[in-house]
Each structure stands twice: as C-alpha cells, then as structure tokens.
Amino acid sequence: QLTMSLNSPTLLNEENAQGEKRNTECLESLLQTPSSFQDNPLQQLQLASQEVLEKAKKSGRSKCPRCNSSRMFYCYTCFVPVETVPTKEIPTVKLPLKIDIIKHPNETDGKSTAVHAKLLAPDDVTIYKYPCIPEYHEKRHEIALIFPGPDSVSVKDIAFHLQKYTKKGVCSSDDDCSREPLLKQAKIEPEEEKNPNECISSSRSEGTRLKKIIFIDSTWNQTNKIITDERLQGLLQIELKTRKTCFWRHQKGKPDTYLSTIEAIYYFLVDYHQEILKESYKGQYDNLLFFFSFMYTLIKDAKCCAGKE
C-alpha cells in the first residue's frame, strides 16, 4: 500500500460543534473542528506547505477572480483559486503525459475532484463536458482509458498491449498534427495550440508509447452512457485494482478500490512512473493531492467531533 501524509496539523477552534452538517461543497461546516491525524491514511506525502489553505479556511469564502462567485479555496467552474488563495502559493505538478478528463453533464461541479488536477497540473490536464469530447480512434495506439472492466489490463502491461494497435493515426504532415481534435460541440475550456513537433515518430518504439490517459469523472451509476460512447470504443482500458479510496463521498455498494478522479490520476501516475518509466518514485506527483488531503482531514475531523457529541 502507498501511504501519504499531510503537513503538520494546525490546532483549530473547538467551538464549532454545530458545523458537522454533511460534507457540503464548500466545507463551510468543517472549518473550525479539532485536528487529529492518528488514523489518517494519507501519510508520508511530500506536499507543499498548506499554510495558504489554513489561512483561507479561517477567512471563509472568497470571490472567484473570474466569475465573482463565492467559493471556498477554488472556483470549480473556472478552475482557478479564489482571491484568498494566491496562485503563486499553489504547487504546480508536471506530468509525464497528457490527461483528458471527461466529465458527466450531471456530475455536480462542487463535488468533483477533477478540478484539483486542472488546478495543480494546468499544462497537462484538459477537462471536457460530455458529449463534447474528441475523436480518439486514430490515436488509439498512444491513448489508454482508465476504467475497470473484463478487458482491463494492469499498468505494467500497458506497453505490451499498446503494441497490438495499428498506427493508422500517424500524422502525415505538420498540418495534421496541429489540427484541433474533432468535437461534436465546443469543449468547456480553450486548448493550447498543438506543437507540430509533437507529430508521432515513425519509429516502432514511438508508435507504441503512451502519450495520453483518459479519465471519466462521474458517479459510477452514470458512467455507462460515457463508457459506451462510440468514440471511446477500441481504446486500451486500464484498471487500478490495488489502491483503496479515501474519498469521503464513496458510493455505497461499490468496491473500495473504486477511486475518486484525483486519486485515480495520482495512483496511476505513481504506478506509471515505476512500472513504465522504470524510475524510483520520490514524491513527484504527491502535490496532486494538495487539496484532496487537506479536505480529507477537515471532513474526517468533523466526523470525529460529531461522533463525540
């Protein structure tokens, strides 16, 4: 098991016993509960200082600099920190490959952890709102989909299975490489221009190298419509079977190995780093859980406090 840790706990006000309403989107009811890390499974993470989140928690909601909505920590519709959380104090994570997140249209924005990935790895993460997704078929030799199923493979077997795919999607010219992906509708955020130099090499090794991972951001009961979309058919599917979720909104009746979106991204990258890149993991992607770990502790402590009443 991979365990993780937060920064040193900060003593919180013990006055707010009534703040233990259920996990609301902005955690307003969880802001002044006692902090306890004894049973925290998120231990030994190498995180940037979370002092900025502690300060923002004490000051309460703040405005989104783009839409002026009142939010806690970050705006989940604009994908930016609020005014009390300076962008320069938020860590940035560089990922070894690109990530597309396909968000179900009925998924509640404030409950999704997908935005964490966009906030912390803005250059490598793109979020689409279904059905506004790219056509992936011609690039399927370098793309994989994280989703459990009978045909899913483990991370360590990615290279072997990608070799089975043909290279029909190889760019024949710079124009092909720089062209925007074909969408049924506009996606929910602008995409930076493609670099023509990213054109797929004709070498065999380049043709079978993974370049993009797709994640579905949805409740498990809503995933069927997305996973059966024709644009996702034929993609290599990968399942993360060995990690257990710490998500506070885990859905009843589902295995504890069904992870939240940000957990799935994090654990995949750790496995990819070790199994595919063959490099020792030294916390390179830990900051992807910068917001998640902070919220986990707030909610856990609130529940503990409520249980003592």
177-234 confidence digits (pLDDT tens): 444 444 444 445 544 444 444 433 333 343 348 999 999 998 877 888 899 999 999 9
**Per-residue model confidence (pLDDT) at position 72:** 93
Q: Integer distance in angstroms from the first to the last C-alpha of the chain? A: 33
- Give the pLDDT score at 121: 98
With a cut of 50, list the residues of the chain below it in pLDDT: 1-38, 168-187, 190-208, 308-309
Structure tokens that stand for 179 in this block? 């062209």
**Residue 101 CB neighbours (<10 A):** 23
Sheet with 125-129, edge to edge strand ranges: 125-129, 98-103, 212-217, 143-146, 236-238
For residue 179, what pLDDT is reported?
Answer: 42
Look at residue 285 in the predicted model and tell me its pLDDT.
97
Residue 307: per-residue pLDDT: 61
Element (H, E) at 299: helix 290-308
Alpha carbon distance 281, 253 (integer Å) = 33
Distance (Å, whole) CA 73 – CA 81:
6
C-beta neighbour count of 215 within 10 angstroms: 23
Q: What is the pLDDT of residues 262-280, one digit of tens each?
A: 999 999 999 999 999 999 9
